[in-house]
Structures are given as C-alpha cells and as structure tokens.
Amino acid sequence: MKIKQTAILTAVGAGAAIATDETGFLPGMEVPVVLASPGGAFTGSAILQTSEDNATWANAAGAVAVTSAGVAIQSITLKQFMRLNVTAFTTGSIQATALSNVG
C-alpha cells in the first residue's frame, strides 16, 4: 500500500503541495483519502484541492469539506498536485492521507 500525507495544518491556509506523478499516485486516478484530526480536535473547514501546475487550484473532484474532528474517508480524482486547504479555522489540526494499492 502506498501512502502520501499532506502536512498537518494547524491554522488557516493551504498546506504544501504534494506531487502525485509517481508510481501509485498518477493524475486521473481515483484514490481514497482519509481526513483526520491527529490531535483529536479540529474546528474549521478543510477541503482537498488539486492542480495541474501547482499554481491554479480547485477543489478536488469528489472532495467534501470537513468541518469537525473525527475521521472522514473520501474518494477523489488526482491531478498533478494535491493539497489540503483550511478556512474558518478556530482550533486543532487536520491532515489528509491518500492511499493507493497500485505499486
């Protein structure tokens, strides 16, 4: 199983971009992504975004905003880059983990 994790976000803003052009994570693939609050708390709104050029970003196809602590599993379609974007942040932290069984 291949795993790619976004940075843990603890404030309003966008996390660092993750390149998805490697074995197991290719643009156009649909992959499951687990969104979780590693510290057990999150108040805000976080959504996965994708980009072809690491400059122009849009919410990922299949992504739904997460607004509280816990675990959410979503299926998204990858592009060249992926990141997690947080708005309306109050407390806690959030992270996204993409999974692939393509080796």
Q: What is the pLDDT of residues 81-103, one digit of tens each?
A: 989 898 888 888 888 898 988 76
pLDDT value of residue 1: 76
Q: What is the pLDDT of residues 58-70, one digit of tens each?
A: 999 999 999 888 8
Q: What is the pLDDT of residues 29-41, one digit of tens each?
A: 899 999 988 877 8
Q: Phi first, then psi: what are they for 52, rounded to 5°? A: -85, -25
pLDDT value of residue 103: 65
Q: Which of 72, 27, 65 is nearest to 47 (CA)?
A: 65
More confident residue, 79 or 4: 79
CATH number of 2-100: 2.60.120.260
Q: Which amino acid is at 96?
A: A
Whether the pLDDT of residue 13 is over 90: the answer is no
Q: Which of 29, 10, 7 is nearest to 18 (CA)?
A: 7
Q: Per-domain residue ranges for the chain? A: 2-100
More confident residue, 74 or 10: 74
Q: What is the pLDDT of residues 46-57, one digit of tens each?
A: 999 999 999 999
